A and B are shown apart, each in its own frame.
Chain A
């Protein structure tokens, strides 16, 4: 068994795959970060991310997979689930060790698991597209705090940029402490200093003058459209699990 320690980037993972083939490794275990502890007799490879090597692996993948198939690997990696880096490496090795395109071979455990992870990521992305609640600030920027289960912020760029093209907005992932800012032309990743504020989701003092009116109207609307005779708490909770409530205007 050889442990490969890499920097957690997708390029790093692809570089690791390059090393696996170069060193003709068979049993491998992927690890993120800087792990120097090593048991005796155990092999440890520190992978230095190398864009040229990563690019070679990527172009190999592009030759054997559909564009969507490559994109799905990127998404599965973004999920950052412990142990599933091994799944992704397993998938890539299966790609290179088979003549035909294997991306739809759901009888293979790596392909099936990647499809599961991508499903989880897409669900979370879709939830964020639904559950982002912008609050209009004094400078006309629309601000939203989120705490998604997975790191889906990079997947949200296209949707929000297309939709809210004529307003400045920020979507901030409090859990991972970085955000997305759209300045009416482009989006960029930002990191905010919240050290002075206890709750980074709370920006009430910076509200635009009509913000509270519309929040109030929205809460009223939400209550008015409910049909008490059809109460179905189980279904309600399945659709909006409680962990999302703290950022939903209508559920606060």
Chain B
């Protein structure tokens, strides 16, 4: 093995892949039944980079040669950078050897488009197939579905991969047209729709015939870049909601735009990464998927932006003071989940524990409730209550005053760089 050459390729092709934020390795249920290597189930983050992001998969491009010229992408055709390409065997060896040392959960393979869609997709599929069949590899594999690749190749990809994804790139079609004139939103939606249909059909088959092969058991995901184009949070979350509902996506990722290129269509190079906004979008996304919120409750035409100072659940609560206070010892789980400062685990513990005894502040605190936020919205077995004449704005001020927001601090350190 030419160590120097492989190292250089790995550096180039990992660097080019890092702006794809998806790192999930969960949601699959691939077992190690053939006494082979690995399994895939709940997902493990094996390390974290200095930016605090999880490293779960070997995330690389097969090549950064690309025929497209998308303004936001480092690998665009007209960008003068070093190009490299892995061979099929090199990717297989890296994956297996990293996996055996417990560095990773598996492989996330994407690629620049060289020649055409089918040619590129065929190579991605070949790597996954080799790992599964020749190396009995049962670890997690995430493949990019290349827009425009044939149905046959997509179907084959689904047989070897745990997850497939095609990135929408921009939250709206207009944004995409502006920055990626070569790309067409419909070309991204087509493979998503095709795979969704296949996944539903294969899942039905699997219910009837246990031996039927798994088909992309961890489903599909996508990514939108935020902050490169002027879409507001309402547009972004409505898009996400539409794709969750229509194509049963497992995840929509929001990638705060990191300015790496000079282009008059893009934010300037010294613009800071919209990390707070990105975090608020993820919080809103969680509310949609796990907390029973409807998208219009979080953002709508009158309320198109998420409040950057407070999380979206608190934002909803102070706009809806008429729904509170709720009695923690009586309210439905669904309503308890809507209380700021109470998460999924605490809510479930509350519902279990109150069957035995009515809960007081002390017990709620020990269960894990963030009392400093929840206290404005609940009553429990206690004579002490917060004042009830507070407006939503008062509450927001109180909470902000007593909590040193991690983001406020973060923002100042970012500014001091310049």
Contacts and interface: CB of A to CB of B under 8 A. Distances in A.
Interface string B294-323: 000000000000000000000000000000
A236 B98 contact: no
Interface string B335-357: 00000000000000110111111
Contact of A165 (B18, B32, B55, B102): B32
Given A106-B352, A222-B49, A227-B258, A132 B15 contact: no
B14 A225 contact: yes
19 contacts: A105-B355, A107-B353, A130-B45, A130-B47, A134-B100, A163-B38, A166-B36, A213-B1, A214-B97, A214-B101, A217-B98, A218-B101, A218-B103, A225-B49, A227-B258, A230-B275, A232-B410, A249-B101, A250-B103
A106 B102 contact: no
A133 B101 contact: yes
A130 B350 CA distance: 31
Contact of B46 (A130, A135, A142): A130
A196 to B, nearest CB: 26
B51 A106 contact: no
B389 interface: no
Given A108-B356, A162-B32, A129 B44 contact: yes
B418 interface: no
A145 to B, nearest CB: 13
B38 A226 contact: no
B125 interface: no
A144 interface: yes
Interface of A: 102, 104-109, 112, 115, 126, 129-136, 142, 144, 162-167, 210, 213-214, 216-218, 220-222, 224-236, 238-240, 248-251
Contacts of B258: 227, 229-230
A225 B16 CA distance: 8
A231 B258 CA distance: 12
A133 B10 contact: no
B3 interface: yes
Contacts of A228: 50-51
Most buried by B among A129, A135, A136, A165: A165
B230 interface: no
Contacts of A210: 1, 97
A236 B50 contact: yes
B390 interface: no
Contacts of A235: 48, 51-52
Contact of B51 (A167, A217, A231, A251): A231
Interface residues of B, number: 60
B129 interface: no
Contact of B406 (A135, A165, A234): A234
Contact of A230 (B32, B46, B53, B353): B53
A102 B18 contact: no
Interface in B78-107: 94, 97-98, 100-103
Contacts of A213: 1, 3
A225 B100 contact: no
Contacts of B38: 163-164
A17 to B, nearest CB: 22
B137 to A, nearest CB: 10
B39 A227 contact: no
B362 to A, nearest CB: 10
A50 B37 CA distance: 42
B189 interface: no
Contacts of B10: 217, 220-221, 224
A104 B345 CA distance: 12
B52 A221 contact: no
B73 interface: no
A218 B52 CA distance: 18
B359 interface: yes
Given A107-B353, A112-B366, A220-B10, A226 B50 contact: yes
Contacts of B39: 162-163
B55 to A, nearest CB: 6
B7 A225 contact: no
B159 interface: no
Given A165-B36, A239-B52, 5 more contacts: A135-B101, A166-B37, A220-B10, A236-B52, A239-B48
Contacts of B37: 164-167
Contacts of B29: none
Contacts of B52: 230, 232-236, 238-239
B45 A239 contact: yes
B11 interface: yes
Nearest to A100: B356
Contacts of A248: 47
B406 A230 contact: no
